Amino acid sequence: MQLVFENVAFYRQGWALHASGTFNAGVHLVCGPVGSGKSTLAMLASGLLAPDEGNVRLEGIGSSMLSLQFPEYHITGLTLAGEVASWGLETESILTEAGLQGREHEDPAWLSRGELKRLQIACALAVSRDLLILDEPFSSLDCHEKEALCRKLSTRHAGITLLFTHEPWYLPRVDEIWILESGRLGALGQTPGAIARWSGAPDHIRHLIASDNIPANISPDDVEEAVCRMHVSG
């Protein structure tokens, strides 16, 4: 199972995105600042956009899903029950997972963006897809909800998961790290080796790298273990 970018180029109004690389089964972190092209790359991966040059090739992938940054773009149901049903899922379990139990008759338009994001992410993670593309999945969530999402993503093993984010503090365990800089996709490689090569890592991980206590991965639990190891050795 692979998602392959073959010399892909995408141009818009004086701006260009270039991408080459192969995404194998596992969880992939694609990081970069706001405006670096993450959402464009996500839409190219999903097929919603076509490259101006090169090819995006899917091998062994029979199904895919793109979870957009803004959850309101996904809403089609007139009630929360109707929205969950539109995903082919069971209402009670999904609403409980999203912390919205007992509200099945409410209009999705009544929800805050954070509540709507919890609902949309709960649905997206409950549907099995060979390729799952998550564009800024942590946006609109509070700290506890981001930590909970990290735990869920850290347990994903089947298929290919692409996680596009600019948020540095709440990250799940990942198999590979990629960066978007100046409109160009770069591969740092597999973890944990990629972590040492990650010049744009968040401050707390860079501090660990500088102290030669590179964490086994980048989730909060992995970072905490590396911090404890550093203090013990110190």
Query: Structural domain boundaries of the chain?
Result: 2-63+128-191, 75-127
Residues 40, 85 contacting (CB under 8 angstroms): no
Beta strands (DSSP E) in 126-224 are: 131-135, 160-165, 176-181, 184-190
User: Could you confirm whether domain 2-63+128-191 is CATH 3.40.50.300?
Assistant: yes
Beta strands (DSSP E) in the chain are: 2-12, 15-24, 26-31, 53-59, 64-67, 131-135, 160-165, 176-181, 184-190
Tell me, what's the pLDDT at 120?
A: 93
Residues 60, 2 contacting (CB under 8 angstroms): yes
CA atoms within 13 A on the CB side of 43: 12
Tell me, what's the pLDDT at 232?
A: 67
Tell me, what's the pLDDT at 226?
A: 85
Q: pLDDT 10s digit of each residue in the chain, 234 long?
A: 999 999 999 999 889 999 999 999 999 999 988 888 999 999 999 999 999 999 999 999 999 999 998 888 888 889 999 999 999 999 999 999 999 999 999 999 899 999 999 999 999 999 989 999 999 999 889 989 998 999 888 888 789 999 999 887 789 999 999 999 889 999 999 999 999 999 889 898 999 989 888 999 998 888 888 888 776 665
CA atoms within 13 A on the CB side of 180: 24
pTM, 2 dp: 0.92
Residues 174, 166 contacting (CB under 8 angstroms): no
Tell me, what's the pLDDT at 54?
A: 98
Distance of CA 133 to the CA centre of its chain: 6
Helix (H, G, I), strand (E, B) or coil at 158: coil
Between CA 187 and CA 3 the distance in angstroms is 14
